[in-house]
Amino acid sequence: MATFKEYTKKDGTKLWSFQAYLGIDQTTGKPLKTTRRNFKTKKMAQKKLNELLVEFEKSGLQKKEYITYQEVYDEWIEPYKNTVEESTFVKAKRIFKNHVLPFFGKMRLENIEVKHCQEAMNLWAKKLKRFNMIMNYAGMVFDHAIRSGLISTNPTKLVTKPKPKKLLEEKKENFYTKEELTLFFSCLEKENEPKIYTLFRLLAFSGIRKGEALALTWNDINFESKTLTINKALTRGEDSKLIVQTPKTINSKRVISIDDKTLNILKQWRITQKKHYFILGINTMNKKQLIFSNSDNKHLQPTITRKYMLQVCKKYSLKEITTHGFRHTHCSLLFEVSATIKEVQDRLVHTDIKTTMNIYAHVSKEKQEQTAALFANYVEL
């Protein structure tokens, strides 16, 4: 019994391979299987199989083909593309290119043992924060090889995970306190950039992700019900092109409430946007109009927020945080106004409660001092 399969190499060349059962090894009593690759046509693959069957009948299987990890990866990666979002596929290819293939690529698949995977894990753990994720990706190729009958076990499943090294210095707090946030917006207001001001206001007062904000259109806002619908996000696809896709998790599709002042700022920005783009000959009065767009009325580059953050923080000597830090800011300030962990988790759609708890642990010092004072006043000792 044999299975023939056409596959595509990295350079786009289409070739054929086959997996075949040849018979029983008279020495071990075990079934003998073989895999052969690199045939230009199915007919050539069939011819080779016939030769092997004759050869086995005479003297048993004499020659064994060696398949590298790179070859199995090349066979696996294209079908994998159809199972994930484009941005996830791009991320996976980058991880394999930068980390996995340089280590395993040229190695013969059947010779890769647990010790080799452990060596890779130890190497990645020394210089990379998400070394476990990289090993998980590497393991996907071994799983594919198992399904293809090339190997029987996945050696990545048996590695010992190194304990993440503690940072020598405490990680810089990636959020603003209430006072720091107020100062940031007072400085940003002086820059007279209404679009940027509105964007940061929405990030800080809604807790949505940057990609979600940059994909918003005006029909995503209901000014009457004071709500914002999140059902898409801007990200990067192949060749670094900007694409809009559904949010990272199913639960990320949501409707959230927006405060009155943020809604008024959005209304004012819409009026300003209409006037500004009218001068450029662009009509923005349609439901699918982007809330935040560039001078060509297309999606803003995601790097623009980082650019403005650095510019404003340097000019006014403010504490620097990342754009994602405004999401953490929203989270921590929700805790300061006594929102429950469950309420915060639901609003920010943290699929893992640990994410919410980690931010909760970094609530401002002022809140911690208030908690201590409340306890002391209650006990009265």
For residues 275-297, average pLDDT: 92
Given this model, what pLDDT does residue 237 score?
83
Given this model, what pLDDT does residue 240 score?
81
Helical H segments across 114-237, by residue range: 114-127, 131-147, 178-189, 194-206, 210-214
Straight-line distance from the first to the last Cα atom of the chain, in angstroms, rounded to the nearest whole number: 84
Cross-strand bridge partners of residue 21: 33
Higher pLDDT, 152 or 358: 152
DSSP of 263-309: HHHHHHHHHHHHHHHHHTT----STT-BSSB-TTSSBPPTTHHHHHH
Q: Is the pLDDT of residue 369 over 70?
A: no
Q: Which of 115, 25, 120, 17 is nearest to 67 (CA)?
A: 17
Segment 60-103, tens digit of pLDDT: 544 455 789 999 999 899 889 989 888 889 999 999 999 999 99
What's the CATH number for 178-368? 1.10.443.10
pTM (predicted TM-score): 0.65
69-158 homologous superfamily:
Tyrosine recombinase, N-terminal domain (1.10.150.130)
Give me the amino acid identity at 84: V
Weakest-pLDDT range from 105-114, 133-142, 231-240, 271-280: 231-240
Given this model, what pLDDT does residue 260 score?
94
DSSP of 128-141: -TTHHHHHHHHHHH
Give me the amino acid identity at 252: S
Q: Is the pLDDT of residue 59 over 60?
A: yes
User: Buried b vs exposed e over 176-194: b needs ≥16 C-beta within 10 Å?
Assistant: bbeeebeebeeebeeeeeb
Segment 162-183, tens digit of pLDDT: 887 654 344 567 889 899 999 9
